[in-house]
C-alpha cells in the first residue's frame, strides 16, 4: 500500500504533464485551424468578387458588341446612301450635256 501511495502522486503528475502537453499541442492546432479558416474565408470572398467582376465584364462585353454591330449597320447604311446619292448626282449631271467637265465627279466618294 505504501508503494501505491508513494508512486501515485508521481504517476498523477506524469499523467497531468502528458495531458498538459496534449492541451498545448491541441491549442496550437486550434490556432492553425483558425488561421486556415480565415484564409479559406478570404479566398471565398475573393472568389466571389472575381466571379462578380467576370460576370460584369461579360455583360459589358456583350453590350459593347451589340453597340458595335449597331454602329457598323448604321455606317453601312450611310455608305449605301452616299453611293446612291453619288449615282443620282451623276445621272443629274448627265442630263446637262453643256455642264463644265470640272464640275462632274469622276469617282464615287470613298467611305471611311
**What is the rounded CA–CA span in Å between residue 41 and residue 47?**
10
**What is the rounded CA–CA span in Å between residue 72 and residue 107?**
24
**What is the rounded CA–CA span in Å between residue 2 and residue 17?**
23
14 in any annotated domain: yes
Task: Kindly report, residue by residue over 57-108, the tens digit of the pLDDT.
Answer: 999 999 999 999 999 999 999 999 999 999 999 999 999 987 655 555 566 6
Domain of 75, in residue numbers: 2-85
Task: Kindly report, residue by residue over 11-68, the tens digit of the pLDDT.
Answer: 899 999 999 999 999 999 999 999 999 999 999 999 999 999 999 999 999 999 999 9
Count up the domains in the chain and report the number.
1
Contact 79, 86 (CB under 8 A): no
37 in any annotated domain: yes
26 in any annotated domain: yes
52 in any annotated domain: yes
End-to-end CA distance of the chain: 110
40 in any annotated domain: yes
67 in any annotated domain: yes
Contact 105, 88 (CB under 8 A): no
100 in any annotated domain: no
The model's pTM is 0.56
31 in any annotated domain: yes
pLDDT given for residue 111 in this prediction = 62
Amino acid at each position: 500500500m505504501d508503494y501505491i501511495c508513494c508512486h501515485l502522486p508521481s504517476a498523477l503528475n506524469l499523467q497531468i504533464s502528458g495531458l498538459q502537453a496534449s492541451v498545448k499541442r491541441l491549442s496550437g492546432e486550434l490556432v492553425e485551424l483558425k488561421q486556415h479558416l480565415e484564409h479559406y474565408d478570404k479566398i471565398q470572398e475573393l472568389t466571389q468578387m472575381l466571379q462578380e467582376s467576370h460576370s460584369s465584364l461579360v455583360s459589358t462585353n456583350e453590350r459593347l458588341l451589340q453597340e458595335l454591330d449597331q454602329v457598323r449597320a448604321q455606317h453601312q447604311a450611310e455608305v449605301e446612301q452616299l453611293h446612291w446619292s453619288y449615282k443620282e448626282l451623276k445621272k443629274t449631271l448627265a442630263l446637262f450635256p453643256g455642264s463644265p467637265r470640272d464640275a462632274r465627279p469622276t469617282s464615287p466618294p470613298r467611305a471611311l
